């Protein structure tokens, strides 16, 4: 009788552990989706900082240290505002900001 009770208890614990793991996985997936959605849109503070950023040709040339016509993540690190907006501004996800992508940083912040 004792072995039967221990066996049923073990099965019950395994079932409960599986249920808890499934719920945790579902919650993690939901949290990851929410975080991804939030990361793709700048918050109000970021929009405010981006709105006052200089996106002129002169600013682009100053950041483009190797004069290859694009700004890498390392070059963007010289300007904290550009570095903060780098991932959002890199529309084609090639790891560089083109002149057009750099110019869109300021205009994206002004859009509602």
* Tens-place pLDDT, residues 5-59: 777 877 777 878 777 777 877 777 776 676 666 666 666 665 555 556 778 899 8
pTM: predicted TM-score of the whole model, two decimal places = 0.51
Every domain of the chain and the residues it spans: 1-40, 44-110
Q: Confidence band (pLDDT; 50, 70, 90) for 90?
A: very high
Confidence of residue 96 (pLDDT cuts 50, 70, 90): very high
Domain covering 44-110: architecture: Orthogonal Bundle (1.10)
97 versus 112: the higher-pLDDT residue is 97
Query: For position 44, what pLDDT does the model report?
Result: 61
- Give the CA distances from residue 6 to residues 1, 12, 67, 71, in Å, rounded to whole numbers and listed in that order: 9, 10, 73, 65
The pLDDT of residue 106 is above 70: yes
Residue 11: its pLDDT value, please? 77
Q: Which of 42, 14, 17, 58 is nearest to 107 (CA)?
A: 42
> What separation, in Å, do the N-terminal and C-terminal C-alpha atoms of the chain show?
70
């Amino acid at each position: 009788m004792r072995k039967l009770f221990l066996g049923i208890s073990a099965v019950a614990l395994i079932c409960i552990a599986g249920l808890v793991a499934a719920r945790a996985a579902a919650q993690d997936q939901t949290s990851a989706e929410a975080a991804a959605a939030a990361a793709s849109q700048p918050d109000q503070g970021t929009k405010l900082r981006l709105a006052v950023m200089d996106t002129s040709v002169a600013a682009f040339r100053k950041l483009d240290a190797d004069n290859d016509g694009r700004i890498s993540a390392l070059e963007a690190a010289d300007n904290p505002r550009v570095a903060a907006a780098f991932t959002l501004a890199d529309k084609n996800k090639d790891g560089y900001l083109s002149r057009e992508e750099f110019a869109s940083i300021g205009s994206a912040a002004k859009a509602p």
